[in-house]
Chains A and B, each alone.
Chain A
Amino acid sequence: GAVVSQHPSWVICKSGTSVKIECRSLDFQATTMFWYRQFPKQSLMLMATSNEGSKATYEQGVEKDKFLINHASLTLSTLTVTSAHPEDSSFYICSARPSGGAQNEQFFGPGTRLTVL
């Protein structure tokens, strides 16, 4: 149980285009999902907290108009990187926290590697 999927697993796009990444909780409902970004040889940095049915909360320094988050259902959150540039190339990982989970454990997706040419 507690499986989180991400799609796509990798994507290459041209500079200036937009890319959408999906994060799905497959066997549980998640009121809250988190989006992280990991640059090479660095740790995961929280980008934003996504709450179902409300606006996402962005961390300082993360442009909300560039990284659009939509959490339209209890099992799906999407991250859209708009007008992508090479510096946006990174590993994007989502996590989902089961609604009502007793231990407050978060389950992570396998990640999406984005390369912007």
Chain B
Amino acid sequence: KQEVTQIPAALSVPEGENLVLNCSFTDSAIYNLQWFRQDPGKGLTSLLLIQSSQREQTSGRLNASLDKSSGRSTLYIAASQPGDSATYLCAVVGQAGTALIFGKGTTLSVSS
């Protein structure tokens, strides 16, 4: 059974710092991996989707990498801002058409 783990559970940084969020999954046979942002009491905002054949995806200050063989993904946030404060969720799809399996998330706090 696929399990997704995110480390750390919480992270506090001052504004301007670069940071890395980690995600690991137990079954490397994934179809794709997505990173989401969730603000308190709100739904999910998709940040990046990486297909199993891809190594990384970039969007603005965000860069996500995928090492399928080792079961790991990282989300790199450059020049963090207070507006980046949120919970970041990593999720994988095992087979095409199936549901996402989520990690518990990393709650990020960026202070000004």
A contact set with B: CB distance below 8 Å: 6, 32, 34, 36, 42-46, 49, 91, 93, 95, 97, 103-111, 113
Contacts and interface: CB of A to CB of B under 8 A. Distances in A.
A105 B100 contact: no
Contacts of B60: none
Contact of B97 (A45, A91, A97, A109): A97
Nearest to A10: B41
B46 A108 contact: yes
A36 B101 CA distance: 10
Contact of B34 (A34, A49, A97, A105): A105
Interface in B9-46: 31-32, 34, 36, 41-44, 46
Contact of B99 (A46, A91, A107, A110): A46
Interface residues of B, number: 24
A111 B91 CA distance: 17
A23 B32 CA distance: 24
A37 to B, nearest CB: 11
A46 B46 contact: no
A22 to B, nearest CB: 15
Contact of B31 (A42, A104, A109): A104
Given A42-B104, A43-B105, A105 B99 contact: no
A106 B49 CA distance: 10
A44 B43 contact: no
Contacts of A43: 89, 102-105
A91 B102 CA distance: 15
A110 B46 contact: no
A93 B96 contact: no
